[in-house]
Amino acid sequence: MLSHPPLSRAMALGLGPTARVVDYNPEWPRLYAAEEARILVAIGPWVSRIEHVGSTAIPGLAAKPILDILVGLRKLDDAPRCIPRMEGLGYEYVPEYEKELPMRRYFRKGPRENRTHHVHMVEDGRDFWVVHLRFRDFLRDHPDDARRYEVLKRELVARFENDREAYTASKAEFVKTMLSKAAEAGY
């Protein structure tokens, strides 16, 4: 099994102080596609591929209303060329998170209380990339597990609405279990 950063924690960095989960929005795939196109125009020469990840990428699943976008670079060394171009698209680059996740360059868009996008820029094919796609693809293909995840998130947001870190930490065991099941199933 791949060693990986805690997926739940990695995806929560940069959120505001309040945990919020909303019903699935059928516009999320269209909004993702539009943003993917904008990103490719800005940094396409360095990008191998881009993926929609996180709960908004799983049809029917309630989610925090923030699009998580995984940008796979050909080489992470190309990130410095991409940063000013991402900033030109309205993203804030957050280098302080590289202390915890040095393999990722993190960007966010929108005000703290109402983020709209998170971009996780990593080297294509590395552990961070693989783990995020494994989790997404497994839940897409296993609707019963996706429903269990939704129920858990709704319970946790009710319990930890004003404690983002507790909300995120409380999902960690479920995420770890899903990643194990996904790896065993060949994802």
Domain containing residue 112: CATH number:
3.30.460.10
First to last CA, the chain: 11
Quick check: is 1 in a domain? no
Quick check: is 89 in a domain? yes
The 10s digit of each residue's pLDDT in 70-106 is 999 999 999 999 999 999 999 999 999 999 999 999 9
Q: Which residues of 65-85 are buried (b: 16+ CB within 10 A; e: fewer)?
A: bbbbbbbbbeebeebeebbee
Three-state DSSP class for residue 152: helix
C-alpha closest to that of 115 among 43, 5, 20, 6: 20
Give residue 77's domain range: 7-181
77 contacts: CB under 8 Å, gap ≥ 6: none
Quick check: is 186 in a domain? no
Confidence of residue 8 (pLDDT cuts 50, 70, 90): very low
Q: From CA 122, how far away is CA 34, in angstroms rounded? A: 20
Tell me whether residue 102 is exposed, middle or buried, using C-beta atoms within 10 angstroms of its C-beta: 0 to 12, 13 to 18, 19 or more: exposed
Query: Looking at the 3D structure of the chain, how many domains does it have?
Result: 1
Quick check: is 2 in a domain? no
Tell me what pLDDT residue 19 has: 73
The 10s digit of each residue's pLDDT in 109-153 is 999 888 999 999 999 999 999 999 999 999 999 999 999 999 999
Quick check: is 187 in a domain? no
Q: From CA 87, how far away is CA 38, in angstroms rounded? A: 12
Sign of CA dihedral 52, 55, 61, 65: negative
Quick check: is 41 in a domain? yes
The 10s digit of each residue's pLDDT in 145-173 is 999 999 999 999 999 988 888 998 999 99
